[in-house]
Copies of this chain bind each other. A is one copy, B any other.
Amino acid sequence: MSAASIEFFKMIKKTEEGTLLCMSKLGEIGEHETIRRILPMLGKHEALVVGAGDDCAVCRLKGTSLDQVFTTDPVIENVHFQSLEKPERIGRKAVGRVLSDIAAMGAVPQWILVNVVAPASLEFQTLEKIYEGMGAICERFGATIIGGDVAKGGKLELHVFGTGLVPADTALLRSGASVGDAVLVTGPLGCSFASGHHLDFIPRVDEGLFLRETGLVGAMMDVSDGLATDLRHILKQSKVGAALEGGAIPKNGTLAQALFDGEDFELVLTSPKPAELQARWAEQFKTELPIIGNITAEAGILTLDGELVESKAFEHFASEYAS
């Protein structure tokens, strides 16, 4: 990690600790702090098993032995894709992100609804291709687009809402990690924007289902904001720490890119029995499921090869990509 990045992390840390309280514009406090402040304002309900703050909300389906999971994702022109991107890939990404959230719970995808915001100048044929991309990825994973709406706006936006099903009380949560668990990841991380992987990734729906069914997984989530940021969510919600080994992390590019780039849409998970899990995984999948570290007792502390790692989120409000 360069001296410049270390300085940047120090700055971020200072911001988090001191300055955030007196800031009030969304562009100053950033996406993650905005969401953190919104969470206490959301609703409570006896059938709401897990509220906002995980990859999906989890609700008990009364009268059944199932839980239903719910998630939404916005995909916005010049934030999540470039204006000249192929429309099929835009559609595919928009639904893929939601399927990735559902996969991270170990759930089976079910229903999809899409709000489209589009400039009046958009050709209908472009919208048609976006729907082709959305339809293809839905079909592959058994999801069905059942509705949505269309409205006029300055930039192209897709707001995708998805549901999934999982046996009651079995959804894999961010809060499920225990001290001594191994940390594993389903594939290589980093350079997703540069490589186009952020548009063409295959959501780990099959892998998520398999991992849940083994009964060998503690916590699980998908890597959308970068391993360092996302793993920190698991640490916070499980009240544990983690020690990563840089050499063990599967990478596309540098270690810093693997830790911070984001939009990888692999699953990161913890397991108390990683050897057994890897053996069963190898019977099912040709890809690797490497151990990249372990869960420690120091709540909230993330280390890489013994050194403290500061947080650096992929911030939609703050990042250059977004502006």
Contacts and interface: CB of A to CB of B under 8 A. Distances in A.
Nearest to A27: B120
Contact of A147 (B25, B52, B117, B132): B52
A42 to B, nearest CB: 5
Count identical subunits in the complex.
Answer: 2
A127 interface: yes
B52 A124 contact: no
Main secondary structure of the interface of A (DSSP, over half): mixed
A323 B152 CA distance: 9
Give the one of A48, A150, A157, A316 with max B CB within 10 A. Answer: A150
A166 to B, nearest CB: 14
B131 A41 contact: yes
A35 B114 CA distance: 12
A84 to B, nearest CB: 17
Contact of A149 (B26, B72, B146): B72
Interface residues of A, number: 77
A94 to B, nearest CB: 12
A159 interface: yes
A121 interface: yes
Give the one of A29, A56, A113, A152 with max B CB within 10 A. Answer: A152
Interface stretch (A58-66, A182-190, A233-241): A58-66
B26 A115 contact: no
Given A26-B127, A61-B61, A64-B61, A147 B72 contact: yes
A79 B111 contact: no
Contacts of A148: 52, 72
A73 to B, nearest CB: 6
Interface in A21-37: 24-29, 31, 34-35, 37
Contacts of A18: none
A144 B44 contact: yes
A135 interface: yes
